[in-house]
Amino acid sequence: MTRLHVVSAATRPTSSGRPLARWVVDEARAHGAFEVTPVDLAEIALPFLDEPEYASTGNYAHAHTREWSALVDSADAFVFVLPMYNGSFTAPFKNAIDFLYREWQGKPVGLVSYSAGATGGAPAAEMLLPVLTRLGMLPAGRSVAVPGINALVGAEGFAPTEGLAGELAGVFEDIAALAKEPAAA
Ligand SMILES: Cc1cc2nc3c(=O)[nH]c(=O)nc-3n(C[C@H](O)[C@H](O)[C@H](O)COP(=O)(O)O)c2cc1C
């Protein structure tokens, strides 16, 4: 079974995306193709990149990096649930990505973006794609953008709009297909 880590990329304590990420985790489990691990970047609580050596060396001086490395290493594929800040992905998320290198390589990744406004964070997802391909990740062809996030979260958690579960299933299908392809030699 593909080990899928669903990463909630938000770090604000009052994040509206956290309930969305929990819903993505539930949907991924229901899908059936994945062994799902939720990852909350706020709990990982990385500092700004403080490793003396490049991530590409794999020589990590700090325990927080080794723990983050082991967690990312243990995944076959990812879904990133990411907020949009000022038209782009967030600084803490890019920082967490930059901490590692080999651990990301060759792994499928699906994007679920969200924002308060009408775009659903699609521009943030678009901007992240070159970063992910640069790292040798395999982005899913389909992605999900969730507009008006604040109106969709409440005491009951995240309330998906019509069609969203189907869109997310498309991302899962893409990830499952990419995970099946043999790694390049
Ligand atoms: C620093 C910052 C910048 C934001 N910029 C945008 C933006 O450009 N467009 C938008 O629609 N919403 C913007 N928002 C609203 C967020 O998309 C919305 O608050 C979302 O819930 C943020 O994710 P989070 O709750 O997980 O932190 C911004 C929020 C923050 C905190």
**Total number of domains in the chain:** 1
Contacts of 54 (CB under 8 A, 6+ apart): 101
pLDDT tens-digit series, residues 18-47: 999 999 999 999 999 999 999 999 999 999
Residue 182 reports pLDDT greater than 90: no
Contacts of 3 (CB under 8 A, 6+ apart): 34, 35, 37, 74, 75, 76, 77
CATH number at residue 101: 3.40.50.360
Q: How far apart are CA 69 and CA 156, in angstroms?
A: 33
Inside any domain, residue 41: yes
Inside any domain, residue 185: no
Q: What separation in Å is there between the alpha carbon of 181 and the centre of ligand 1?
A: 36
Average pLDDT on 123-130 reads 98
Inside any domain, residue 125: yes
What is the CB < 6 Å shell around ligand 1? 10, 12, 15-17, 83-87, 115-117, 149-150
Domain of residue 60 covers 2-180
Residue 14's Cβ-count burial label (10 Å; 0-12, 13-18, 19+) is: exposed
Residue 185 reports pLDDT greater than 90: no
